[in-house]
Structure 1
Amino acid sequence: MIGKVSLVNRLALLFAACTAAVSLGAGLLFNHASEQHFIELDQQLLESRLSLLRAQLAGVTRAEDLRARLPALRAELGHQADLGLRITASDGTRWFESRNGLPALPVPGGLATLHAQGTDYRSLAQPLLPGAPQSPQVALYLDITHHQHFLQGMQRLIWLTVGLSALATALLGAWAARSSLRPLRQMGQVAASVGARSLTTRLPVAQMPDELAELATAMNAMLQRLDDAFQRLSAFSADIAHELRTPLSNMLTHTQVTLTRPRSLEEYHEALHGNLEALQGMAQMINDMLFLAKADHGLLVPGQTPLALHDEADALLEFYAPLAEDNNVTLHREGQATLSGDRPMLRRALSNLLDNALRFTPNGGQVQVTLQPGPVICVANTGAAISPAALPRLFDRFYRVDPARHEGSREHAGLGLAITRSIVQAHGGDITVACANGWTRFVITFSEAH
């Protein structure tokens, strides 16, 4: 049952319990102090009356001596209605008692609180003649009923105060807790309202208390990440549907045309070969997208093989040499560098950059690979500069700078640079692009810690 109590009610009960405990403690302490104060006053009064009696009854050792002084004693006691007196011999024989119903004395020699016939007494018993072996005993009784009534009323007031203060604190605590937890309820409402169409909702951090501002900031950051991820996913779905639509439409049209009439075996073979090329392009695009999806979820775990980057670059330049010769493009490599990484992944990244450079290098241009310790890899090519507006989008999926490259191109789907960036980031590096002085440079920088 405790686990089902709301946080507001828990705080209210806690406030009420604390207030009740403090009020009860303070009340009991005040009650004890008041009682001790009355005891001290009663003791002083009884001791002063005892001193007067000793002076008035000086020399009384026998009952006959007391009889002679009884009139004066009765007259003195008549002026003190709340005071009772009992005088007994040393053997316990009762000589005098000012009123009926006085309670029996406890052990003589001290202050005691007694009760008899509905009346409370404070009593003091002492020898009449201090130091005398056979001295009569004097017992004084002070009626303290009004003291007790006062203390009982105080105790009732204490319990009433404890109850009312606990109730008031519980109500005020519930109100304060509910008001203080309003930002949490607001967070809950925002979280409940978040959906695919409302990821732009944000919590007002400036209106949050300091204790919840950090949580609200973290929640806003989470919503921003969800919004970014959803936007990327939506863009990815739209892009891949856009890219696959044209080859699928071409395959359907080609197949339907082929089936409109009987054809020769060679014509069927040519049609199937055309469809095979389209399917291979689509399969490559899907594989590339799966690779990027793994990169987005941090599932790319590159190997840590020591690599001589200049040897890897030379191997790729040798591979692209025939294509460069056909386009009259000069390939060149400078510098040396080493890196611990995944050879197939790094070759793929560098191959994408070289392929991109060769496609955009005009006839008679140059492609240069520069390696520096760090390591730093720079792939540069001559040619027309890329517009500043296009530079930030070069690494986006399916983005193409050349408007002549129509949608659905089987050779270049606009994923090469996106894959290259994912590979570089998986190796703890960063890639940038810049155009200046007739050169376009892609610079990869790896951290030394990696």
Structure 2
Amino acid sequence: MRGPWSLSSRLALLFAACTAVVSLLAGVLFSRASEAHFIELDQQLLEGKLIGLRHALQDLDAEQAQRRLEDELSRQADLALRIKGSDGVRWYDSSIRIPARLPERPGLSTVSEADSDYRVLNAPLYPERAHSPQLTLLLDITHHQHFLQRMQRLIWLTVGLSALATALLGAWTARRALRPLRRMGVITGGVSAHSLNARLPEAQMPAELAELAHSINAMLGRLDDAFQRLSAFSADIAHELRTPLSNLLTHTQVTLTRERSLEDYREALHSNLEELQWMAQLVNDMLYLAKADHGLLAPNREPLALAEEVDVLLEFFAPLAEDANVRLSREGDGGLDGDRNMLRRALSNLLDNALRFTPEGGDVRVRIVDEVQRVRVSVENSGEEIPADRLPRLFDRFYRADPARQESRSEHAGLGLAITRSIIRAHGGEIRCESADGWTCFLIELPKLHQA
């Protein structure tokens, strides 16, 4: 089965069809104009002869009239005359080649018989008389018709040749014009997981393809970035799971090297259970992020008073803050429609993160600003500032702003902020981090939905 035609073939056929139509229309118009011009010339000639014949036959006897007629008609070989009486009886024929049947209506008409064509003009000999003999002038226009026929054949030949020439030129032009598109196909065809850094030369592309090339380059950039993140994510997962797995294997092997008491086995199992619980939490967090990446997080909307939700969390973290000698506070109030559990998890991650990096005697503050179209919630903590170049990566998975701050325990894998951003975005909001003047602030902006 034949596949679809190439773009070059389609353009070539389109050019050929357009040229053929234009040429045909021009030829038809020229042919009609030529035919109308010949009719006008023939009419002028016949009307001039009619006037001469009327003067020649004015008040003459039959013999004199015939001599005058022959003299007038002898001057133009392609002209013939028929005279009929008012009763329709034929009086005179200047030639035996005059067709037997001629139109009776007055005025100009065209008659074809055998291989000859005639322009016929019917008119009375004496227009002022009611019963006047009728003159029929015939002009042989066979040579005119042959000229028009040759011109029509020339028109068809011109149409065919111009269509063929345009098709060939159109195909050549289309192939040259589509060369950048083929180059784009070659470059994109070579893109693979190992060559996502390939880019199309936008500066060398025509204006019509430059925007497409820019879009493809942007897509390749996003794919490259996503692939690099995925590779780093896979490496981070392997790195995060390798340590607890090695601990489990080592601890289990050591425990099984010799007979131990029931209490020792119980302690070993309890230690392994902690590692397994952390690994289970890590896997659950990764599954949660995977759902967020595929847009599967669907918050349950219910009216929430943010001040109450924040106060519940501050009460939960109060013992930890007291042990670390950190002051907790909340300012402002606001309401929106959102998922209570998801928003509590997001704010809990931010408060936990703030408490871990607030020095002794520092402050953690939660500010709520209720605006017309949105609610702004900021979680601020005093302490060491985060360098500006690291702020954009804070929400990446497994990223830690300061590797030196990593705890010896593996309970914080660097997924908290990534999960928080996924929850905020699922609610249609945005989150960002600012760090300056001894304070680090995570600012959340959430749209306010209509409350029932």
TM-score after normalising by structure 2: 0.85
Shift of the 270–115 alpha-carbon distance from structure 1 to 2, 3 Å rule, reads: same
In structure 1, distance between residues paired with 2:326 and 2:126: 136
Match of 2:433 in 1: 432
Determine the C-alpha separation between the residues in 1 that align with 2:175 and 2:78.
Answer: 57
Deviation at 1:283, TM superposition (A): 0.9
Structure 1 match to 2:250: 253
Structure 2 residue 116 is matched with structure 1 residue 119: yes
Distance 2:366 2:407 in 1: 33
**Could you tell me how far 1:151 is from its partner in structure 2?**
1.2
The number of equivalent residue pairs is 442
Paired residues for 1:201-212 under 5 Å: 201-212=198-209
Separation in 2, partners of 1:313, 1:434: 22
Deviation per CA, 1:261-288: give whole Å up to 9, x if none: 3433333333222222111111111112
What SS does structure 1 have at the residue aligned with 2:98? Answer: coil
**Identity over aligned residues, as a percent?**
63
Question: SS of the residue aligned with 2:118?
Answer: strand
Q: d(CA) in 2 for partners of 1:188 and 1:408?
A: 52
Distance of aligned partners of 1:267 and 1:156 in 2 relative to their CA distance in 1, 3 Å threshold: same
Partner of 1:48: 48
Query: Residue 223 and residue 339 in structure 1: after superposition, are their counterparts in 2 closer, same or farther (change >3 A)?
Result: farther
Aligned twin of 1:443: 442
1:394-426 Cα shifts (integer Å, max 9, x gaps): 333223345456698422222223333333333
Q: Does 1:356 align with 2:353?
A: yes
How far does residue 240 in structure 1 lie from its aligned partner after superposition?
0.6
- CA distances 1:65-117 after superposition (whole Å, capped 9, x unpaired): 32345445434433322222334445555544333222123216333323445
Corresponding position: 1:166 with 2:167? no
Shift of 1:237: 0.6
Partner of 1:5: 5
Counterpart residue type for residue 365 of structure 2? V
- Deviation for aligned residue 1:124: 2.6
1:351 CA displacement: 2.6
Task: Classify 1:278/1:44 alpha carbon distance in 2 versus 1 (closer, same or farther; 3 Å).
Answer: same
Task: Find the counterpart in structure 1 of residue 285 from structure 2.
Answer: 288
Do the aligned residues in 1 keep the contact of 2:109 with 2:119 (CA within 8 Å)? yes
Cα distance in 2 between the residues matched to 1:217 and 1:337? 46
Q: Tell me if the contact between 2:307 and 2:368 (Cα under 8 Å) persists in the aligned partners.
A: no
Q: Which residue number corresponds to residue 76 of structure 2?
A: 80
How much has 1:244 moved relative to structure 2? 0.6
For 1:358 and 1:133, the matched residues in 2 are separated by 125
Q: Which runs of 5+ in 2 are unaligned?
A: none
The alpha-carbon deviation at position 306 of structure 1 amounts to 3.4
Match of 1:297 in 2: 294
| 1:333 aligned to which of 329, 333, 355 | 329
Contact 2:326-2:355 at 8 Å conserved across structures: no
Give runs of aligned pairs for residues 5-404 of structure 1, distance below 5 A: 5-60=5-60, 65-91=61-87, 94-104=90-100, 105-107=102-104, 109-116=106-113, 118-132=115-129, 135-327=132-324, 329-340=325-336, 341-363=338-360, 365-374=361-370, 375-404=375-404
Deviations 1:341-397 (A, max 9, x none): 33323332333333333333444x223323232344444444444445544443332
Change over 3 Å in CA distance of 1:244–1:308 after alignment to 2: same
**How has the CA–CA distance of structure 1 residues 139 and 414 changed in structure 2, closer, same or farther, with 3 Å as cutoff?**
closer
Looking at structure 1, the residues matched to 53 and 43 of structure 2 have their Cα atoms a distance apart, in angstroms, of 15
Deviation at 1:172, TM superposition (A): 3.3
Name the CA distance, whole Å, in 2 between partners of 1:51 and 1:380.
113
Quote the Cα distance in structure 1 between the aligned partners of 2:142 and 2:55: 28
Contact 1:308 1:338 in 2 (8 A): yes
Relative distance call for 1:358 and 1:4 in structure 2 (3 A) is closer
Q: Go from structure 1 to structure 2 and tell me whether the alpha carbon gap of 1:270 and 1:163 turns closer, same or farther (over 3 Å shift).
A: same
Cα offset for 1:138? 3.3
Give the whole-Å Cα distance in 1 for the aligned partners of 2:103 and 2:393.
104
Superposed structure 1 runs of 4+ greater than 6 Å apart: none
The unaligned stretches of length 5 or more in structure 1 are none
CA distance in 2, matches of 1:339, 1:180: 59
Shift of 1:185: 4.0
* TM-score, scaled to structure 1: 0.85
Residue 190 of structure 1 and its aligned partner are, at CA, apart by 4.3
